[in-house]
Structure 1
Amino acid sequence: MTPQSSVPASPTGLEEQRLLVRRARKEMVRRHRTRQGDSAEPPIRVMARLVDDLERECAARRFDRTATRLEIVNRTIGDVNVRLITECEGEEGGPGDYRLLGDELGIALPGEDLNGHTASGKGYHWLRDRMTEAERQLLAAGYDPRIYDIQGVGNPILRGWLAADMRQWGVTASAEQVALGLGATDCIDKILRGLAHFARRRSQPPGAVLFAAPGFNMPELQAETYGYRLHRVRTRPGEQFKLTAALLARHLDENPDITVVYLTVTNNPTTLAYTEDELSALMEVVRRFAGRGRRVHVLADLAYIGTGRPAEDEARMRGLASAADVAGQMIYVNSFSKTYTLTGDRFGWAVFGDTEFSVAMRSSWMNSVSCLPGEWQLRFMAYHALFRQNPELIEKIRGLYRLRRSRLRRQLELFDEEFRLFERIHVDDDATIYSWSRLRAGEDCFSVLEKTGIAGIPGSTFGYSDDYIRFSVGILPVVMD
């Protein structure tokens, strides 16, 4: 008899349950594979729906929850859920006890159980006290976060803090050059909309946005919405899937309608990052075209600056800022989502290369959110203060990412020994929260899920081929059993 889902299975019963889950997994994969050709859904949604359907099926059959959790692992989602962290390296309560992050970041509620650790609530209450202090500070400066903000870009104190952060990386910026947004994706949407609006006011089309593939695809959907032509440049494995200076120069030369280059400095999905020299070479190309009267904006996505080694991230930023004479063509976008595991809080901001351009872009902000939420700005300020006062938290988050990437790589190697799935499991640049691998001929996302229970995202999601697959280390720990 199948045990109730709320009753733990015995060791023997657990193995039987796991076999039942594997059988259900195989059935569900084959069912979805059959329907794939008739579906207009993008690959990422197909995989997400498959996993959801499979988990519902196992629940309906009343399979043991532990067996289901071990045999179905959703690695399509890229973000860490700190409530699900189970890893503890070394002494309980010590620096390697990653379960404490939910408490230390103020996400866990006071008294909440974090996989064996009871949250003290210290971080939770500290953030709220700091928000009160931040509101008093804003009121003293003449900014009331509770009334309509005609600029739409957020309070000047927080924008000044974020500008100072950029100056530490060699990027000259003031508060006037910073605009807050509800996450980096929201900022990118506003930027693309604003640039398209400027073009139409000149009775010109928006032009094209150059996207290096494989790459994060959300901005492609946004650009298409605002009438841009999508110009994909397929990168090569031998060049670590990076846009080279030679490729950029050739495509700009052959496509005079390219007005924006979208550049992910540390790449999702490949986990590989540009070096300082590579970025300096790209900026030299932009400078060269500017000298011919061609203004091309570089939209630099810094989502994973902060997840890698600090010295290397600083060098990357120096490379981006190396072309001071085209600083006005630079747009930097960042967030707290990946670097600080604060996806749900949606803290993002844009930094424009010069003040005049920044002021001109404000209409795009005002025409969308109109006024940023006051409580949200106060929480944003509180978190900024938290990380400045507790830099060890940043290193702890990096340590968790590093641990999960190494464990996932080892797990994939073990599965490869058993099933011969991968042609190559790429080694990351000690950054991001992903793993990028090339599949052997005849394998795809469906077969990997069927054989291993791990759901990944096919390369076509990122403008590449389904010979590749991306796994996330984010939302779930890597369980080696």
Structure 2
Amino acid sequence: MPLKVGRGAEAPPFLVMDVIAAANARAAALPPGAPGVIRMEVGQPGTGAPRGAAEAAIRALRAGAPLGYTEAFGLRSLRERIARHYAERYGLAVPAARIAVTVGASGAFPLAFLAAFDPGDAVAMAAPFYPPYANILTALGMRPLLLPCDAATRFQPTVAMLERLDPRPAGVIVASPCNPAGTMLAPEELAAIARWCHAEGVRLISDEIYHGLVYGEVREASAAAFSGSAVVVNSFSKYFSMTGWRVGWMVLPEDLVRPVERLAQNLFISAPHVAQVAAEAAFDCIPELEENRARYRRNRDLLLRALPAAGLDRLSPADGAFYLWADVGHLTNDSPEFCARMLREADIAATPGVDFDRERGSRFVRFSYCGPEADMAEAAERLGRWLAR
């Protein structure tokens, strides 16, 4: 008799990870001295952790302390420093007791979903969307409810879209700045969604991991300012440039604090101790991090000029984060094949849109511009030559 495979195994793949593998294989196959593969497929800053954060980790290791388990919600000093961050950046009084340090934002989402929703619950989100939202929900037996968005709404959901949902979903996920389009909800738009969710008994999950990486005129706002029932997710991976350290955090509403803590105790125990030490120190590295942001902005501005000249002129506004969402429908209706040819023929790795929008993503490509400036300039030149063939 065949063995059972759990329904969690039905979760779709996160295709960008397959693109990473293909780009690694292509790079390994290139002859010595050949120009390398330019990596625009993954949202990983080209810099490492800020110097002060790395030095704090080194000091902790040299001190010889055990660096064992912390409390499930993390080091108290780190939670207090995150609370101070909300006071300084947003003018919000967030008690440290409502802050949970997590194993990256990726570790926060299953905790939030399990605490807030039941199997079978529908959770709404804009499409295009960050793939693990839907994939984690699917693995947990919940139902992603996709709201098709386009340039008319800046690839963001609206209260009008939510009002049309009948029955109401159990939850709504928003991201501002968002992945893959880099667009933002204006503070008044986020406030309207947060207040609608609270009034309708719908749990809002606000993904704020790209806060700090903003370039346009839209201001950042946290859902914590508008709703006491929202769950806010953030991370040290993007603005703080600490992807591999695996530290994130949540701001939790009072009713989910203990449920999430119980889940965290059982699923993760705690985020890595030494990474938490480094994360706390990262708050004192703002000048270096702002230099990173200035570089991303220069990359963005360069590509917004160069890609239209190369033939890719249907681009998202890119208010924040470090992505351009390119409509390539005039060139292809098969973005996976288009990206495979781009890697094979131009040595540029980018992510096909089907990872972010299952219905319309075949005509979109996501370019990440958080790599070195020289690589972004070279990518623009390569794309121009490749598309001119």
Q: TM-score range by the shorter chain?
A: 0.7 to 0.9
- Taking the aligned partners of 2:217 and 2:94, their CA distance within structure 1 comes to 21
Number of the residue aligned with 1:255? 167
The 5 Å alignment of 1:169-188 reads 169-188=90-109
- For the pair 1:424 / 2:320, whether they are aligned, the reply is no
**Per-residue deviation, 1:179:** 0.7
**Secondary structure, in 3 states, of the residue corresponding to 2:130?**
coil
1:303 aligns with one of 187, 209, 213: 209
**Secondary structure, in 3 states, of the residue corresponding to 2:234?**
strand
- One-letter amino acid matched to 1:331: V
**Per-residue deviation, 1:188:** 1.2
The alpha-carbon distance between structure 1 residues 223 and 379, as it changes in their structure 2 partners (threshold 3 A), is same
**Per-residue deviation, 1:208:** 1.4
Report if aligned partners of 2:53, 2:281 keep a CA contact under 8 Å in 1. no
**Residues 425-473 of structure 1: CA deviation (Å, up to 9, x unaligned):** 33321x2111111114342443461664422212211124221110011
The 5 Å alignment of 1:122-201 reads 124-125=54-55, 128-129=58-59, 131=60, 146=67, 148-149=69-70, 151-168=71-88, 169-196=90-117, 199=118
- Taking the aligned partners of 1:132 and 1:55, their CA distance within structure 2 comes to 34
* Higher relative contact order, chain-length normalized (CA < 8 Å, sep 6+): 2
**Residues 250-308 of structure 1: CA deviation (Å, up to 9, x unaligned):** 12xx133x21211112111001111112112212322431xxxxx21111111111111
**Per-residue deviation, 1:74:** 2.7
The alpha-carbon distance between structure 1 residues 153 and 321, as it changes in their structure 2 partners (threshold 3 A), is closer
Report if aligned partners of 1:184, 1:349 keep a CA contact under 8 Å in 2. yes
Number of the residue aligned with 2:35? 68
Structure with greater Cα Rg: 1
The alpha-carbon distance between structure 1 residues 44 and 148, as it changes in their structure 2 partners (threshold 3 A), is closer
- Taking the aligned partners of 2:157 and 2:181, their CA distance within structure 1 comes to 13
- One-letter amino acid matched to 2:142: Y
- For the pair 1:56 / 2:21, whether they are aligned, the reply is no
TM-score by length of 2: 0.82
**Per-residue deviation, 1:79:** 0.7
- One-letter amino acid matched to 1:231: L
Number of the residue aligned with 1:347? 247
Report if aligned partners of 2:92, 2:225 keep a CA contact under 8 Å in 1. no
Number of the residue aligned with 1:411? 306
- For the pair 1:77 / 2:42, whether they are aligned, the reply is yes
Give the number of aligned pairs: 358
Report if aligned partners of 2:54, 2:278 keep a CA contact under 8 Å in 1. no
Report if aligned partners of 1:214, 1:234 keep a CA contact under 8 Å in 2. yes
- One-letter amino acid matched to 2:167: N
- For the pair 1:473 / 2:369, whether they are aligned, the reply is yes
Report if aligned partners of 1:185, 1:219 keep a CA contact under 8 Å in 2. no
- For the pair 1:225 / 2:146, whether they are aligned, the reply is no
Report if aligned partners of 1:163, 1:351 keep a CA contact under 8 Å in 2. no
**Residues 28-52 of structure 1: CA deviation (Å, up to 9, x unaligned):** xxxxxxxxxxxx9665355334433
**Per-residue deviation, 1:380:** 2.2
- For the pair 1:244 / 2:158, whether they are aligned, the reply is yes
Number of the residue aligned with 1:460? 354
The alpha-carbon distance between structure 1 residues 49 and 247, as it changes in their structure 2 partners (threshold 3 A), is same
The alpha-carbon distance between structure 1 residues 471 and 331, as it changes in their structure 2 partners (threshold 3 A), is same
- One-letter amino acid matched to 2:195: E
- Taking the aligned partners of 1:126 and 1:226, their CA distance within structure 2 comes to 37
- One-letter amino acid matched to 1:478: M
The alpha-carbon distance between structure 1 residues 382 and 128, as it changes in their structure 2 partners (threshold 3 A), is farther
Report if aligned partners of 1:170, 1:321 keep a CA contact under 8 Å in 2. no
The 5 Å alignment of 1:256-275 reads 256=168, 258-275=169-186
The alpha-carbon distance between structure 1 residues 178 and 407, as it changes in their structure 2 partners (threshold 3 A), is same
**Secondary structure, in 3 states, of the residue corresponding to 2:93?**
coil
The answer for unaligned runs of 5 or more in structure 1 is 1-39, 84-101, 107-121, 137-143, 200-204, 290-294, 417-421
The answer for unaligned runs of 5 or more in structure 2 is 1-11, 382-389
The alpha-carbon distance between structure 1 residues 152 and 404, as it changes in their structure 2 partners (threshold 3 A), is same
- Taking the aligned partners of 2:123 and 2:32, their CA distance within structure 1 comes to 49
**Per-residue deviation, 1:132:** 8.2
**Secondary structure, in 3 states, of the residue corresponding to 1:466?**
helix
Measured on the aligned residues, the alpha-carbon RMSD in Å equals 2.9
The alpha-carbon distance between structure 1 residues 42 and 334, as it changes in their structure 2 partners (threshold 3 A), is closer
Report if aligned partners of 1:459, 1:468 keep a CA contact under 8 Å in 2. yes
